[in-house]
Structure 1
Amino acid sequence: MSFTLAIVGRPNVGKSTLFNRLVGKRLALVDDQPGVTRDLREGAARLADLKFTVIDTAGLEEATDESLQGRMRRLTERAVEMADACLFMIDARAGVLPADEVFADILRRKSARVILAANKSEGRAAEAGLIEAYSLGLGDPIALSAEHGEGLADLIEVLRPIAEEKGAEAARIEEVAPETDIDLSDEDGEEVTEILRMPTPERPLQVAVVGRPNAGKSTLINALIGEERLLTGPEAGITRDSISLPFDWDGMPVRLFDTAGMRKRAKVQEKLEKLSVADGLRAVKFAEVVVVLLDAAIPFEQQDLRIADLAEREGRAVVLAVNKWDIEENRQEKLKELKQSFETLLPQLRGAPLVTVSAKTGRGLDRLREAVIRAYQTWNKRVSTAALNRWLAAMVEAHPPPAPGGRRIKLRYMTQAKSRPPGFVVMCSHPDKLSDAYKRYLINGLRQDFDMPGTPIRLWFRGQGDKNPFKDRKKSTPSRLRKHLGKPSLKD
């Protein structure tokens, strides 16, 4: 059984740097500016033969009110209560500050296992701070350098007893657990063929929630998972990292990605916000379904359209969710207006699910789940080659392709090359001369006739060897006719 380690400490002591080193990836944003991390980020860590879950937390602040710093502190304290062990980090170069003493006293009360680490211990400048760490009364400090990877061997020796204890506990649970393996066989002996790969706990459905700042993305995810897992508030731009959370959505394994709000590129000036937006764009690329969250008060702003178009260009299944529906008064008129705007402003996503939700009250979340599943199924759809070629013949008969320069374009064969999103290849003559209008005609026909609304469709046209292989070859006289014609041969 794996254990959980929470990394806590004052802002800018190197918690996210150590988190990235333990998980082996640059998942958490790192910057010289203090207070970059705000939410709890979990990751699968590995040190030698030890495997465990590590939690990166926000910097501990002395605020206890309803301010942003106070809410961040409560979220960090919750992570300490959840974890099996707590790694308390201080800055060895700065020494022990009064805030460190306050937080050390809090950790002694809240966590049974507290590991003290003095980060930035490389060089002589950190020797005094390392000695001061003994005054906190948390045992011998570990001299660490998260930036250079020093001191990890000492950390392994401290964590090993915790891993062994958790392993022994897992073995005891397995011994007393009842037998639950049941052989499920098909009574009729018929082979069951899986048409669509449904999400499993090993490969959950990847869902990213994106949108403009203050659209309610973190509040929506908290409502879905049923707990205050992400930091929320009236301030815009609270979320900075793209936080991923495993979640069982009424029997469907899902991994939710909460992303930072994306403003217009011209307004993004600070380095930290650029990193946050880049992290959100990376989450879109890794997702399977992208939920574009709109604000009911100001839907379909220019930035909303850009975000939705980005998800379509990346080839992801798209669901549009209109949040803050609980404060809308004229709902029927507003919904009709939303649908009209959707068809006009986002023709490339015409037919994609559009649902209204309220992250604050939890209404509409069941409809959102149905929309996500429907978009995922359409995104994975496959069509047989025979059905595609019958359809292609009917489409060409109804509207033949144009003949540029008097040369008729022949569409000979069609097949589906891929799914996720659906991609089709058409073998034809003169593919470079086929107009974009006729390509859109075929794509719209695919959406309508094979029930693939809203999903991105890729259509490629390939030539099929129309050139004469003997066109550029020089004529030559066969050797057996040379003597008859009186022409000298190479031997002569």
Structure 2
Amino acid sequence: MSFTLALVGRPNVGKSTLFNRLVGKRLALVDDQPGVTRDLREGAARLGDLRFTVIDTAGLEEATDESLQGRMRRLTERAVEMADICLFMLDARAGVTPSDEVFADILRKKSANVLLAANKGEGSAADAGVLEAYALGLGEPIRLSAEHGEGMPELYAALQPLADQFAERAEQDAPETDVSIHEDIADDDIPDFAPTEAKPLQIAVVGRPNAGKSTLINRILGEDRLLTGPEAGITRDAISLKIDWGGTPCRIFDTAGMRKRAKVQEKLEKLSVSDGLRAVKFAEVVVVLLDAAIPFEQQDLRIADLAEREGRAVVVAVNKWDVEPEKQAKLRNLREAFERLLPQLRGAPLVTVSAKTGKGLDRLHAAVLKAYATWNARVPTSQLNRWLDGMLAQHPPPAPQGKRIKLRYMTQAKTRPPGFVVMCSHPDKMPESYSRYLVNGLRDSFDMPGTPIRLHMRGQSDKNPYKGRRKKNAGALAKHLGKRDR
């Protein structure tokens, strides 16, 4: 039986460092600056033979208003209510603060299972803080050093009895299932590229700061899971959430807003942007979210071009459509600007949405699925070569220095994104314009709008590998017969 462990405490007590250690990889951003974590981040944790879900939370603040700190606190309190166990962390070197006492009292009321951890407990400088922790009334503190991995056996010993209780409770509550009512589905009925529970569709939502990425994902989820607000740059790291979107298993990534590189000066923002770029590389479909008031800014174009260069399927979504006064005229201008400014994504879906009201999310879902299916498309070799003959007849390749380039045959080498290889003479002399002619023809003829297409020209050696071999073999045979006659 798995359980959920929420890491809570004041800012900069080491929650993200412990989160990274428990999941075994650097998922959460870590910095000396307090308040780096703002959203809830989940991960699959492992400690000895225990397998559980760990939640990294924002640092608890004493604000209760509508400020950013107040909204972060409410999100953390929600995680406490969701979790089976809360690990309340304090800084052993700083000792127990008045804020720690306030939050300890809150946790006692909100959670049935609260463990106390005195982090940064390495060395004698932490002794006094560990002793002070007893006064919080949460039992014996677990002395930890998340950075150096000290105290992990003690944390395991504290979690093990609770894990056993959850396992026993689950066995008692588990209903008996009648397997006869389940219909077997053959593996052949499910396409190789179809998203499943084990292999969900990976979607990254990217865009400039304050475009509404977190609000959009909250609307898809149907709950306020991600921190939102009027402040630009609230999201600092890429948060992944596993959801069922309209019957489609998905893992959706909320990323930090990407500003122009010249404006990104702070170390923390550089880490945030780097985290977002990594999410794009892991995604299968990238939703580029624009602000309807200022669409297709230079940074929007750079982000869309990045997704195309990474070979991801791209969907362009224009947010805040509910407040647009001249919708028809605006939509015509958007389509014209899209075709003109992003020719490499010609035909990619352009969807208008309102993250605030939820209008247009059904169209966005359909566009994502279509882009994903196109990204996985495969064309039979026979069809490709019939198509290539027609393209050559309509517009033959050029003849540099009077010697025409011969295109012999074509095949699809890969999918995700579709990649094609053309065997030809003088591949190095093929002009870029003719390659674009073939790529655009592939889009139109095989219904692959918008998806990145990779086209490679490959030469064939004019050397005959068997040339001279017959003569050599004949000489060897004559020599062998001569020896036998003697």
> 1:204-353, aligned counterparts within 5 Å?
204-353=200-349
Q: Does 1:435 align with 2:435?
A: no
Unaligned runs of 5+ in 1: 481-492
1:8 and 1:87 in contact (8 A); partners too: yes
Give the aligned partner of residue 125 of structure 1.
Answer: 125
Q: What displacement does 1:163 show?
A: 1.4
CA distance in 1, matches of 2:165, 2:381: 57
Q: Does 1:184 align with 2:179?
A: no
1:455 to 451, 459, 464: 451
For the aligned residue pairs, the C-alpha RMSD in angstroms reads 2.0
Paired AA for residue 177 in structure 1 = E
CA distance in 1, matches of 2:299, 2:376: 28
SS at structure 1 position matched to 2:37: coil
> 1:8-47, aligned counterparts within 5 Å?
8-47=8-47
Q: What displacement does 1:192 show?
A: 5.2
CA distance in 2, matches of 1:183, 1:299: 49
1:354 to 350, 357, 378: 350
Give the aligned partner of residue 481 of structure 2.
Answer: none
Q: What displacement does 1:408 show?
A: 1.8
> 1:105-144, aligned counterparts within 5 Å?
105-144=105-144
Deviation per CA, 1:26-68: give whole Å up to 9, x if none.
Answer: 0000000000000000000000100000000000000000000
Give the aligned partner of residue 371 of structure 2.
Answer: 375
Paired AA for residue 3 in structure 2 = F
CA distance in 1, matches of 2:20, 2:254: 19
CA distance in 2, matches of 1:65, 1:154: 38
Q: What displacement does 1:407 show?
A: 1.8
1:417 and 1:425 in contact (8 A); partners too: yes
Deviation per CA, 1:413-469: give whole Å up to 9, x if none.
Answer: 111111010001111111111111110010000000000000000011111112356
Q: What displacement does 1:404 show?
A: 1.1
Deviation per CA, 1:123-174: give whole Å up to 9, x if none.
Answer: 0100110111001000000000000000000000111112112222222233
Unaligned runs of 5+ in 2: 477-486
Q: What displacement does 1:185 show?
A: 6.3
Paired AA for residue 135 in structure 1 = A
SS at structure 1 position matched to 2:290: strand
CA distance in 2, matches of 1:110, 1:33: 28
Give the aligned partner of residue 483 of structure 1.
Answer: none
Q: For residues 301 and 181 of structure 1, do their structure 2 counterparts lie closer, same or farther at Cα, with a shift above 3 Å needed?
A: farther
CA distance in 1, matches of 2:215, 2:460: 53
Worse overlay, 209-218 or 398-407: 398-407
Give the aligned partner of residue 193 of structure 2.
Answer: 197
CA distance in 2, matches of 1:221, 1:193: 31
SS at structure 2 position matched to 1:2: coil
Give the aligned partner of residue 485 of structure 1.
Answer: none
Paired AA for residue 77 in structure 1 = E
1:355 and 1:364 in contact (8 A); partners too: yes
Paired AA for residue 13 in structure 1 = V
Deviation per CA, 1:301-325: give whole Å up to 9, x if none.
Answer: 0000000000000000000000000
Q: For residues 423 and 151 of structure 1, do their structure 2 counterparts lie closer, same or farther at Cα, with a shift above 3 Å needed?
A: same
Worse overlay, 252-261 or 391-400: 391-400
SS at structure 1 position matched to 2:451: coil
1:210 and 1:260 in contact (8 A); partners too: yes
CA distance in 2, matches of 1:115, 1:63: 24
Q: What displacement does 1:195 show?
A: 4.3
1:392 to 388, 391, 394: 388
The two structures have a TM-score, normalised by structure 1, of 0.94
Deviation per CA, 1:373-431: give whole Å up to 9, x if none.
Answer: 11111111010011001111111111111111222211111111110100011111111
CA distance in 1, matches of 2:40, 2:247: 24
Please list every run of at least 4 consecutive aligned residues from structure 1 whose deviation after the TM superposition is greater than 4 angstroms: 190-196, 468-473
Give the aligned partner of residue 484 of structure 2.
Answer: none
Q: For residues 205 and 132 of structure 1, do their structure 2 counterparts lie closer, same or farther at Cα, with a shift above 3 Å needed?
A: same
CA distance in 2, matches of 1:136, 1:180: 50
Q: For residues 435 and 146 of structure 1, do their structure 2 counterparts lie closer, same or farther at Cα, with a shift above 3 Å needed?
A: same
SS at structure 1 position matched to 2:251: strand
1:3 and 1:162 in contact (8 A); partners too: no
1:119 and 1:145 in contact (8 A); partners too: yes
1:196 and 1:377 in contact (8 A); partners too: no
CA distance in 2, matches of 1:182, 1:22: 39
1:404 and 1:433 in contact (8 A); partners too: yes
CA distance in 1, matches of 2:227, 2:357: 17
The two structures have a TM-score, normalised by structure 2, of 0.95
> 1:389-428, aligned counterparts within 5 Å?
389-428=385-424
Q: What displacement does 1:193 show?
A: 5.2
Q: Does 1:464 align with 2:463?
A: no
Q: For residues 192 and 159 of structure 1, do their structure 2 counterparts lie closer, same or farther at Cα, with a shift above 3 Å needed?
A: closer
CA distance in 2, matches of 1:89, 1:339: 52
Paired AA for residue 444 in structure 2 = Q
Matched positions, count: 476
Give the aligned partner of residue 363 of structure 1.
Answer: 359
Q: For residues 192 and 106 of structure 1, do their structure 2 counterparts lie closer, same or farther at Cα, with a shift above 3 Å needed?
A: closer
Q: What displacement does 1:183 show?
A: 5.7
SS at structure 2 position matched to 1:81: helix
CA distance in 2, matches of 1:469, 1:405: 28
1:241 and 1:260 in contact (8 A); partners too: yes
Q: What displacement does 1:333 show?
A: 0.3
CA distance in 1, matches of 2:133, 2:36: 25
Give the aligned partner of residue 97 of structure 2.
Answer: 97
Paired AA for residue 218 in structure 2 = N
